[in-house]
Amino acid sequence: MERSWRGLVATLWPLTIGHLLAMLIVLLPFSLLLALVHWQRPIQIGASLLVIGFGVFRLVNRRHPRALARIRPTQLGLWSFAVAIAHGAGLMLVPLYLGLCTPAAGARGHEAAGTLINADLGMAVQVSAVHSVAMIAAGGLLAWLVYRCLGLKFVARSWFNLDAAWAVSLLFVGALSLTFCLADPR
């Protein structure tokens, strides 16, 4: 909005912090739930249904507040946190964190990831941090490319519904997680 690449780069830090806090608030309670190993399967099913339910809610509830169109730089971290919570960004990581993405036969990389994820509370922090850094790197690069190559007029004239794409991805991840959980013969 400031028509400056420096303005774009300056937004990345508050966006990262807000997104990281949102991931931690969602993942930390689930990491504490892992202590209840006896209840792991019902928790996994519940988490999958929660992701599916939130995806349906986001698909049905199309209202997007106009007030969020322009955020002051001093409130950008808070905005990033609120939007990440409201859009269910942390929910996308819950199935992975809870081990719902079971490995296929011979998939050693998935087995290693599952072992690491189920290790301890510190892993929830690491998953949140890696996700936030990857998200901000990809988003920042895309924003810079759009700014440099296509310009701000492109953004103003071509708007597509990212909320619908996000809702569909929540539904997909939730359904996939639920399928893996129910297929597991525990």
Q: Of 132, 148, 150, 151, which Cα lies nearest the Cα of 12?
A: 132
* Per-residue pLDDT, 159: 65
Q: Is 142 exposed, middle or buried (0-12, 13-18, 19+ CB in 10 A)?
A: exposed
- Whole-number mean pLDDT of the chain? 75
Long-range contacts of 58-63 (CB under 8 A, 24+ apart): 58/87, 58/88, 58/163, 58/166, 58/167, 58/170, 59/164, 59/167, 59/168, 59/171, 62/161, 62/163, 62/164
* Per-residue pLDDT, 99: 59
pLDDT score of 108 more than 80: no
Task: Identify whether the C-beta of residue 174 lies closer than 8 Å to the C-beta of residue 93.
Answer: no
* Per-residue pLDDT, 141: 93
Per residue in 118-140, pLDDT (tens digit) is: 556 677 777 778 878 888 899 89
| Confidence at 57, pLDDT banded by 50, 70, 90 | confident
In this structure, what are the phi and psi dihedrals at residue 52, rounded to the nearest 5 degrees?
-60, -45
8-state DSSP, 148: I
The enclosing H or E element of 24 equals: helix 5-33
* Per-residue pLDDT, 35: 63
CA atoms within 13 A on the CB side of 169: 13
* Per-residue pLDDT, 98: 60
pLDDT score of 66 more than 90: no
Higher pLDDT, 177 or 39: 177
Per residue in 42-53, pLDDT (tens digit) is: 878 888 898 888
* Per-residue pLDDT, 68: 53
DSSP letters along 122-143, please? HHHHHHHHHHHHHHHHHHHHHH
